[in-house]
Amino acid sequence: MFILGIPLKNDVCTPSSEAEKFAKVFVNEGKIEKIEYVQNRDDLLGSVHFFVTPKEEYVFDFLEMGAEPLMTPRSDMNIAEIVEAFLFRELYSYGSI
């Protein structure tokens, strides 16, 4: 199982600074098992394997807690699209940009 942390505004991935809420998306065997919402970015620290954002932002706190930061190929992706991109390895690693 993998847990993705995703900042959201209007159910679309957004930079953390613009997010209304943050999703913890539990992906098990290629499917979304459940989604939990938290109000604070810090609530994702230490509890997600990947932090997904549409553009570069400060992510060293996630790196220090063992989570890999990833970037979406588009800025208007919803949770289902992000999970699909994650499964097909279409998200960008910060090291590859």
Residue 66 confidence (pLDDT) above 80: yes
Residue 96 confidence (pLDDT) above 60: no
Give residue-wise pLDDT tens across range 42-52: 999 999 999 99
Which of left, alpha, beta for 73 (phi over 0: left; psi -120 to 50: alpha)? alpha
pTM listed for this prediction? 0.94
For residue 97, is it within any domain? no
CATH for 28:
3.30.420.130
For residue 29, is it within any domain? yes
**What's the number of domains the chain is made of?**
1
For residue 35, is it within any domain? yes
Residue 64: domain span = 2-75+84-92
- Alpha-carbon dihedral angle through residues 93, 76, 27, 20, given to the nearest 10 degrees: 100
Residue 58 confidence (pLDDT) above 50: yes
Give residue-wise pLDDT tens across range 16-42: 999 999 999 999 999 999 999 999 999
